Each structure stands twice: as C-alpha cells, then as structure tokens.
Amino acid sequence: MTGFHQDWLALREPYDHTARDGELAAGLSSWLRADPAVQVMDLGCGTGSNLRYLAPRLPRPQTWHLVDNDSTLTDALARHNGFDAREHHVHLRDLTALHDLPIGSAHVVVASALMDLVSREWFSSLAGRCREAGAALLISLSYDGHMRWQPGLPDDAWIEAQFNAHQRGEKHFGPAMGPTANIVMSGILQDLGYRVTTAATPWVLGPRDGEIQKELLSGIAAACMAMAPQEEDRIACWSDRRGDLIREGHSHLKVGHGDLLALPPGEPT
C-alpha cells in the first residue's frame, strides 16, 4: 500500500502474519504431502515475509525460489536468520517478463501483497503456466477495496473511492487488478479447472497500532493527491483530522484483504 521500502515491509509483516488464513496454509500443506521434496516459488518475495510465515507450516524438505527485482530487499532476505543458501535460491528478476521464470519445477507458486499490482492479462498467463506445471497457488493479502475507519469522517467514502481508483492504475504489469484481484483471480483459476478456496484476511488496527496507521494514512493521502490534485485542501483537511485521531489514540482502521488457495484438478486434498 505504501511502496516496497524495507522499513514498510518490516512494519507490516507482523500484521500480515496475524491476518493470514491458517486453514488455507494447512490445506496447501496437506496437498503437498504427496511430494517428497517440496519446491516453492515465491513471486515478489521482498525481504522474505512469505517464507517466514509459510516455511514452518509446510512439509519438509523444502526448496524455495525467491523472486524479486529489488536487490536491497533480497540482500536483506539473505542476511536473515534461518536463510540457508542450500534451500533458498534468490532470483533477481523483473516479473513483468514472465516467460523466462522457471515455473515448470514448482509444486506451488506463492505470492503475498503482490497480486493487486498486476493486470488480469499478466495473472492469466501466470495461471496458465502454473496449470501446465500442475502447480498449486497460494496468493495472500490482496487488497479488496474496503477501508473502514472509526470514528467515521464525512469524506471517508470519497477518499476510499480515490484510493481504489489509484490502485487500478498501471504498476508496470498493465492496468492493475487492484481491489478486484481476488474475484478476477478466482474466475481465471476456476476456468482452468482449479479448486479455489478464499478467505477474508483484513488488518484490524486499533489505537495501539498508531505507527502503521500513520504510514497508511500518508500512503493513502499521497495516492489521493495523485488522483485528484485539484482537491489538495480537501485531502489535507481529511488527512490532518485522521492524523489527530491517530495521535490522540482514538483511531481504528480495518483494511480488507483476501487470501486464495488454488489446487489443480484431480489431485488428492
């Protein structure tokens, strides 16, 4: 939501892990038990949040292929406790060029906080490649377009609409799926014969979560300014009031996300 800076990824990681759906991870784990040595490909791995969440929940032995185009993030991942170069292979690549990704050997392709950035066409190609490889997909924490602030302010709905329109903009993969990601991905995967299960995985933030609320507020205001620069005063007024509520310890925020597990047809569950 507010870019890919290392500090932001570190701030959001515990909230992401709390929000994620353990039953979908367990469903993937039992499907993978048929494979003696699990191969996982993590797209847009960042500093390795998905690895840290999933590795303890999946059968061993595991080999991870971690893909990202930002070496500052993958360098941090490689310095992390528990990183083992025999099991964890970093691929520094631009995911917009999907054709040269070695998906063929993966049992499962995973991604967290990525798929709302990509286009329907890009995801469709990815899903087709996964289907050919017989790979499952576990896609986590795609933003679903719902932000509920408490207490409410008159411009909340207007701000949400500007922000959601911004989320649909170009992020180098073609027009982003943004808040429609879970619905669009489910349709594409079901058309390919996948068995798809989804779960709501919102962040539920309260007065103790002031730091992440402040970061979100600043990212949301910047996105709204990009969409409606002529409304600078209106956005600043909303943002100042929200900032006051966060500082005073009165702010609650629910940000909607969804997780999705897709298992190929004809395999044991």
Ligand X SMILES: C[S@@+](CC[C@H](N)C(=O)[O-])C[C@H]1O[C@@H](n2cnc3c(N)ncnc32)[C@H](O)[C@@H]1O
Residues near ligand X (CB under 6 A) are 4, 9, 16, 44-46, 49-50, 68-70, 73, 94-96, 112-114, 172
State the Rg of the chain over Cα: 19
**Which residue lies nearer to ligand X by CB, 20 or 238?**
20
Q: What minimum distance in Å lies between the beta carbon of 12 and ligand X?
A: 7
Q: What minimum distance in Å lies between the beta carbon of 190 and ligand X?
A: 24
**Which residue lies nearer to ligand X by CB, 28 or 235?**
28
Q: What minimum distance in Å lies between the beta carbon of 36 and ligand X?
A: 27
**Which residue lies nearer to ligand X by CB, 53 or 194?**
53
**Which residue lies nearer to ligand X by CB, 19 or 235?**
19
Q: What minimum distance in Å lies between the beta carbon of 56 and ligand X?
A: 16
Q: What minimum distance in Å lies between the beta carbon of 72 and ligand X?
A: 9
- Strand locations in 81-227, DSSP E? 88-92, 108-112, 136-150, 195-200, 203-205
**Which residue lies nearer to ligand X by CB, 97 or 266?**
97
Which residue pairs, CB below 8 angstroms and at least 24 apart, start in 240-244? 241/153, 242/149, 242/153, 242/217, 243/214, 243/217
Token pair 């911004």 is at which residue?
A: 166
- 104: tokens are 């063929």
- 176: tokens are 């982003």
Provide DSSP, 16-75: HHHHS-HHHHHHHHHHHTT-SSEEEEEET-TTTHHHHHHGGGS-SSEEEEEEES-HHHHH
